Amino acid sequence: DRLASWSERADAGVKYFSGTATYTGTIEAEPGWFAPGAHQWLDLGDLQNLAEVSVNGTDLGVVWKKPFRVDMTGAAKPGPNTIEVKVTNLWVNRMIGDRQPGAPTQYTFTRPVFYKAGSPLLPSGLLGPVRVLQVSAAAASSTSAGRP
């Protein structure tokens, strides 16, 4: 119902998760977005730590540093658009989860042990806000590499 760090969740399986999780959603694109020469960018806001993005099944690549944006021009269409964002985090939170008293399973094995049960968790996941940026043909030609 809202974007938040996995490390803030009460469910230990999410709180200490390390790996890739998939977010899906739909964006309604207005016909006016598609003027000749216009570009549409999907801005993911903040995420930890990298994401693979697709729009309507078209792979738009991987983002791994700010700004977390992909050019969705050509993949987006007027009307509903399916967005898929696969976010992968670091394994720090999983290592901390493995050190929790009563942890039923240990998933990570490292020597030396870098993290303890009380170590602070790192933010993980898609934090947002997610938004669509419109760039007109004139603005697109004047921005560096067409990036808003």
**Per residue in 26-79, pLDDT tens?**
999 999 999 999 999 999 999 999 999 999 999 999 999 999 999 999 999 999
Q: 81 phi and psi, to 5 degrees?
A: -130, 130
Average pLDDT over residues 5-21: 97
Token pair of 34, please?
Answer: 């598609």
Residue with tokens 């960018």: 41
Residue with tokens 């921005």: 143
Query: Quick one: pLDDT at residue 145?
Result: 44
Could you give the CA distance from residue 30 to residue 131 in angstroms, rounded to a whole number?
A: 14
Query: Quick one: pLDDT at residue 113?
Result: 86
Could you give the CA distance from residue 33 to residue 76 in angstroms, rounded to a whole number?
A: 10
Percent of the chain with pLDDT strictly greater than 90: 82
Closest among 60, 88, 59, 83 to 132, alpha carbons compared: 83
Could you give the CA distance from residue 45 to residue 130 in angstroms, rounded to a whole number?
A: 6
In this model, does residue 140 exceed pLDDT 90?
A: no
Query: Quick one: pLDDT at residue 138?
Result: 58
